[in-house]
Structure 1
């Protein structure tokens, strides 16, 4: 049985892989008559210790992301998906994406990491697949 999704989240970090996921999300949303949440996460974990965490820098990144995300939102609407929400949050991508309320499908890029990094921390996509309570589609 093929599931028809009503609410789709797509992980956007502006990389080539995430833009492929973005394009796939538009197609899936149009096929299902679904809404899309464009989700960008400011990874505060990469800022280092709390003492080094610069609130102004995080806010600057958030403002830049919101501008880019608004441009993507316009593209989604122009492509024929009328209900689009932009979400820009601070935290870790896997936590933010897997805790979005009402999402039935998460689409994200399957970006590669080195084998050593994967053994130590695992890829974000892998962690999303493990933690998500909804369907996940990885795009190559």
Structure 2
């Protein structure tokens, strides 16, 4: 049994919590000389009905994802991570991250923030991090931020 991580998947959505998860992922990737895989899932459930009338929403969401990942990639490189990949997926982050992306890239660690951008969904049906923790086949690190502690 090896105690070293090789493929670290970090979920980013632009939230403060995801920023903390990213920073922790960079440090762990450097210590393990691991590949850092950045993933952003465009939650298509949010605009399926609206987008039927106006196809620009999907384009804007895709552009946001590209810009977000480019920024994280640049920062990770500047901080000394050598192997970085970025993935944009579409669907529900709760299922896409642990069941599709983690499986495809053979992740041995998933890192995510404790809370993301969708507060309404978290209130009604549970957080993305909670679902990832329950359904992932590898280790999961849920990172809490100072912002969350202040909210309590």
Per the normalisation by structure 1, the TM-score is: 0.87
1:26 aligns with 2:26: yes
Specify which structure has the higher proportion of helix. 2
Distance apart, 1:2 and its partner CA: 7.1
User: What value does the CA root-mean-square deviation take over the aligned residues?
Assistant: 2.4
Q: What whole-Å deviation, never above 9, does each CA across 1:76-120 have from its counterpart, x for those lacking one?
A: 111111110111111111222112221111000001887x96574
Select between 31-40 and 43-52 the one with higher mean Cα deviation: 43-52
- Give, in angstroms, the shift of residue 52 of structure 1: 4.4
Q: How many residues align?
A: 139
Q: Distance in 1 between matches of 2:33 and 2:8?
A: 10
Find runs of 4+ consecutive structure 1 residues off by over 3 angstroms: 48-55, 116-120
Q: Partner residue of 1:139?
A: 143
Q: 1:16 to 1:51 in 2, by over 3 A?
A: closer
Q: Which secondary structure state, in structure 2, belongs to the residue aligned with residue 41 of structure 1?
A: strand
Runs of at least 5 residues in structure 2 that lack an aligned partner in the other structure: 145-152
Aligned pairs for 1:27-106 (under 5 A) are: 27-49=27-49, 52=52, 54-98=54-98, 99-100=100-101, 101=104, 102-106=106-110
Unmatched tracts of structure 1, length 5 or more:
none
Tell me how far apart the structure 2 counterparts of residues 69 and 7 of structure 1 sit (CA, whole Å).
17
TM-score (norm 2): 0.81
